[in-house]
Amino acid sequence: MNIAYIRVSTVEQNEAIQTEVMKQYKIDKVYQEKVSAKNTNRPKLMEMLDFAREGDTIYVADFSRLARSTKDLLELIELLEIKGVQLVSIKENIDTSTATGRLMLKMISAINDFERENMLERQREGITIAKAEGKYKGRKEVSIPDFDKQYQRYMNREVTKSRLAKELGVSRPTLDKLIKEHQQVS
């Protein structure tokens, strides 16, 4: 069976280019999602990996759609190899069913990882310069009036973290940060 995995990072992004690229292949099943590839814990990716069987081929427009880090990509490839599933990356023109394809995959994966690290380093340098020039202030500090009351509701198990975050209009990580800061002050 030919399986396609299509992913974009955010809801604002469009998967049309990837969908169009897949039309040249006889795709039997498509797994598509809008989620970051910061790790491999993605619903449709997990569903696809569970579904794929020996002899199947998974097509991706390029490796960055499957994984962002070399480690994650290589772990996914190893899992697919164990299951007897081939992986084809259209952009890189690599087929993991061949020794040359596996070698090229490892080289490209390392280069992608290197490029991403360089981009993040340049971003940090740019932020440092912008801060020095007074042009970058960072994110605005989140402040919740009467947070002590909300914190007590959470500690008394009257409300879950998810529910409280929703009520306060903040993300779970932001709520975690507020709770941690509150605990340090108390």
Q: Name the region of 41 (left: φ>0; alpha: ψ -120 to 50; beta: rest).
A: beta
Residue type, 56: D
| Structure tokens given for 115 | 């490029």
Where is 94: in which H helix or E strand? Answer: strand 94-95
Residue 30 gets which letter from DSSP? E
Span 47-69, mean pLDDT? 93
Cβ atoms of 137 and 144 closer than 8 Å: no
The domain limits of the chain are 2-112, 147-185
Where is 43: in which H helix or E strand? Answer: helix 43-51
Instruction: Give the total residue count for the chain.
Output: 186
Rounded Cα gap, residues 85 and 157, in angstroms: 46
pLDDT band at 111 (very low <50, low <70, confident <90, very high): confident
Q: What pLDDT score was predicted for residue 134?
A: 87
Written out in words, the top-level CATH class of the domain with range 2-112 is: alpha beta
Span 97-103, mean pLDDT? 85
Q: What pLDDT score was predicted for residue 95?
A: 87
Is the pLDDT at 108 greater than 80? The verdict is no
> Which residues lie closer than 8 Å to 59 by C-beta, 6 or more apart?
2, 3, 4, 5, 22, 25, 27, 88, 90
Please count the other Cβ atoms lying within 10 Å of the Cβ belonging to residue 168: 15
Is the pLDDT at 137 greater than 80? The verdict is no
Question: Tokens 């970051």, residue?
Answer: 36
Span 133-160, mean pLDDT? 86
Span 80-87, mean pLDDT? 93
Question: Which residue out of 9, 97, 109, 143 is catalytically annotated?
Answer: 9
pTM of the predicted structure, to 2 decimals:
0.58
Q: How many CA atoms lie within 13 A of 139 on its CB side?
A: 4
Span 167-183, mean pLDDT? 89
Rounded Cα gap, residues 103 and 72, in angstroms: 16
Instruction: Decide which of 91 and 112 is more confident.
Output: 91
Q: For residue 186, indicate whether it is catalytic.
A: no
Is the pLDDT at 91 greater than 80? The verdict is yes
